[in-house]
Amino acid sequence: MLTQFEHFAVTEMMGSTDNPPRANGSLCFGSEWERKAFGMALALAKDGFFEWDEFRDELIGAIGAWEAAHPVDRSSWNYYDQFLAALEKAVVKSGVIDADEIKAAFAARSAWSTTRPPGRANALSL
């Protein structure tokens, strides 16, 4: 069951360019990292680290940048790749963590894990 804030966040995105994938009314996650990224964004916004609307602006920007970079071939599209890019920018802008710390975490993780999000070997292109 969604909390009031989670319900607000999800319904705010409905019908927008940043609308999360859904099936039968429920959010769809292709893998566990997508679910964790979504939950982290909700928790950080709920706890006041950034405003949900600020995160949405980052997400809309990330989606727009991806679409501009892939005008013809969109076969590599993954909503949550853009979601994660937007989350990275939001936490850096809010001061939760800096870009170098994110890059170091991705570098350390890629050294021991093969389960990182696709295309996320190089974190942040700020």
Q: Give the mean pLDDT of 33-61.
A: 91
Query: Higher confidence at residue 53 or residue 3?
Result: 53
| Alpha carbon of residue 61 to chain centroid | 12
**Contacts with 61 (C-beta within 8 Å, 6 or more apart), sequence order:** 86
Helices (H), 1-126: 4-13, 32-46, 52-69, 79-94, 99-112
Identify whether the C-beta of residue 106 lies closer than 8 Å to the C-beta of residue 123: yes
Averaged pLDDT of the chain: 78
Is residue 15 predicted with pLDDT exceeding 60? no
Convert the pLDDT of each residue in 54-88 to its tens digit.
999 999 999 999 999 998 888 888 888 999 999 99
Which two structure tokens, joined as six digits, stand for 82? 């853009």
